[in-house]
Chain A
């Protein structure tokens, strides 16, 4: 294992932050420059959005079920079982829907992007693309960033709805709650701020997933071993960053309430 001095470590870290920031800025500014790769973006939206649908639905469903089961035990003690819908709805829409959906999409797509672009990098396909007069940031990075941000919005809405449906399954089937009561309390629990919070978070998380995945892919070194390393690092970095940014955003939205 290579041992590096603390000074070199800091230098490398700062350089990585600089390169990541440049990639992020370019991925957005490329939207205003020709050529635009709309068909590539649609293809990526299909791969990222439609492809992630099964895991997002399953995650949402089981999260809703578990939330209803756990909260009902506590609520039963205080004789407030009717509030199950309120707690499931509040937790899913504001927090668990966006975060868990993002973590699942990060596991599936940040790794996919890092390994695909990483393989292209180590086999000189990225250089070949540049040599053929095509900007790889425009053709490969921007379509992935745009489609991930766009699809994360809808995937989170689906996850929230399926989670609420999971909560209803338990409330109606196991706890014997009235269907109208469950859905009404779930609806009444949400304020405008909750919905906005739950819909802005996935946009930010989608941007993190795609830019981190592309960054590690575009900076892959060291052959197939490097591709494996880039894939792992992309999942770890995007997951940690999602959770850290979630904490900041939550505090930010609470202070704006």
Chain B
């Protein structure tokens, strides 16, 4: 964005990347990446390993700073914010790490309640919210367990519960199905869908699994059956899901599932084949 250009629309857009570049030592990881995430939209960020997907999420939270460009998160230009200012903003953005990154010395309850305990909320209120959110991810029975006692899929679900306990305005998922079996992966995608359709949370989902994105784009969460249902035959339902594909630090595709199916680029065709 040029210095004289107007401030971007941060009311309708949760996250804006404007010509963002970053490199580590001699390696360029992101090279002039620009995209927008609308409020309530879920964007699946796809690409092969090393294409810069996870770096985008870390930049969104201000965990690393870009070398060039601007990043607007919930109306704040995070590239100009100090670490102290970023701590407040991070309370409004949830993240689910690739390997869950649960605190291994804390129980599931304390992991999920971490933010609330930091805010010094009353014990009764914390307990209520923890049970509520664990029930959302169907992990209430594991409340007193340590992360080491949980399977990979269970840890991922606790990670989601920890990320959504404060009902953040934006959610970031870093390969939420990575290393999981197909059935557990579907359960995780269903949870992401539930969060999208029940709470209308804006989300960036990084994944190398194309089917995760297509499942999100072709299904909706049915609160009656409490399971996902295909969109086919459901009139005028907008599932607010789009795709973005990265290649060597550059955005090579941005659009809907339908547009992705029509694309002629040989690399993308091979990728989605």
Which residue numbers of A lie inside 8 Å of B, CB to CB? 35, 119-120, 123-125, 127-135
Interface residue from B90, B91, B93, B99 paired with A124 (Cβ < 8 Å):
B99
Give 16 CB contacts A-B under 8 Å. Answer: A120-B103, A123-B101, A123-B104, A125-B102, A125-B103, A125-B104, A127-B58, A128-B101, A128-B102, A128-B103, A130-B63, A131-B97, A132-B115, A132-B118, A133-B88, A133-B90
Query: Which 6 residue pairs spanning A and B have beta carbons closest together?
Result: A128-B101, A124-B101, A133-B90, A133-B91, A133-B87, A131-B95
Chain B residues within an 8 Å CB radius of A133: 87-88, 90-91, 115, 118
- Which residue of A128, A129, A135 has the most chain B CB atoms within 10 A of its CB atom? A128
Q: Say yes or no: B90 contacts A132, CB within 8 Å.
A: yes
The reply on B137 being an interface residue by CB < 8 A is no
Q: Say yes or no: B118 contacts A135, CB within 8 Å.
A: no
Complex Cα distance A223/B103, Å?
17
Chain A residues within an 8 Å CB radius of B114: 132, 134
Complex interface bits, B113-130 against A, C-beta within 8 A gives 1, otherwise 0: 011001000000000000
Chain A residues within an 8 Å CB radius of B162: 132
Residue ID in chain B nearest A135 by CB atoms: B87
Chain A residues within an 8 Å CB radius of B118: 35, 132-134
Q: Say yes or no: B87 contacts A134, CB within 8 Å.
A: yes
The reply on B83 being an interface residue by CB < 8 A is yes
Q: Say yes or no: B101 contacts A127, CB within 8 Å.
A: yes
A131-B61, A134-B118 known; A125 and B101 CB under 8 Å? Answer: yes
Interface residues contributed by chain B, number (CB under 8 Å):
22
A132-B90, A133-B118 known; A123 and B95 CB under 8 Å? Answer: no
Q: Say yes or no: B99 contacts A123, CB within 8 Å.
A: yes
Chain A residues within an 8 Å CB radius of B61: 130-131
Chain B residues within an 8 Å CB radius of A135: 83-84, 87
Closest chain-B Cβ to A7's Cβ sits at a distance in Å of 15
Interface residue from B63, B83, B84, B87 paired with A127 (Cβ < 8 Å):
B63
Chain A residues within an 8 Å CB radius of B97: 124, 127-128, 131
Chain B residues within an 8 Å CB radius of A119: 104
Closest chain-A Cβ to B204's Cβ sits at a distance in Å of 13
Chain A residues within an 8 Å CB radius of B83: 135
Chain A residues within an 8 Å CB radius of B88: 133
Complex Cα distance A12/B220, Å?
52
Complex Cα distance A123/B84, Å?
23
Chain B residues within an 8 Å CB radius of A124: 97-99, 101
Q: Say yes or no: B90 contacts A130, CB within 8 Å.
A: yes
Closest chain-A Cβ to B255's Cβ sits at a distance in Å of 29
**B54-72 residues at the A interface, CB under 8 angstroms:** 58, 61, 63
Chain A residues within an 8 Å CB radius of B91: 133
Closest chain-A Cβ to B273's Cβ sits at a distance in Å of 33
Residue ID in chain A nearest B174 by CB atoms: A124
Chain A residues within an 8 Å CB radius of B115: 132-133
Complex Cα distance A35/B61, Å?
21
Chain B residues within an 8 Å CB radius of A123: 99, 101, 104
Closest chain-A Cβ to B103's Cβ sits at a distance in Å of 6
Closest chain-A Cβ to B205's Cβ sits at a distance in Å of 16
Complex Cα distance A129/B115, Å?
9
Closest chain-A Cβ to B201's Cβ sits at a distance in Å of 16
Chain B residues within an 8 Å CB radius of A128: 95, 97, 101-103
- Which residue of A120, A129, A134 has the most chain B CB atoms within 10 A of its CB atom? A134
Closest chain-B Cβ to A35's Cβ sits at a distance in Å of 7
Closest chain-A Cβ to B168's Cβ sits at a distance in Å of 10
Residue ID in chain B nearest A35 by CB atoms: B118
Chain A residues within an 8 Å CB radius of B95: 128, 131
Q: Say yes or no: A131 contacts B63, CB within 8 Å.
A: yes
Seed contacts A132-B162, A133-B90; 11 additional CB < 8 Å A-B pairs: A35-B118, A119-B104, A123-B99, A125-B102, A128-B101, A130-B87, A133-B88, A133-B91, A133-B118, A134-B118, A135-B87
Complex Cα distance A131/B101, Å?
11
Closest chain-A Cβ to B199's Cβ sits at a distance in Å of 19
Closest chain-A Cβ to B105's Cβ sits at a distance in Å of 9
Complex Cα distance A187/B95, Å?
61
Chain B residues within an 8 Å CB radius of A35: 118
Complex interface bits, B32-60 against A, C-beta within 8 A gives 1, otherwise 0: 00000000000000000000000000100
Chain B residues within an 8 Å CB radius of A127: 58, 63, 97, 101
Q: Say yes or no: A131 contacts B90, CB within 8 Å.
A: yes
Closest chain-A Cβ to B20's Cβ sits at a distance in Å of 19
**B6-38 residues at the A interface, CB under 8 angstroms:** none
Complex Cα distance A133/B101, Å?
15
Residue ID in chain A nearest B93 by CB atoms: A131
- Which residue of A120, A124, A127, A134 has the most chain B CB atoms within 10 A of its CB atom? A124
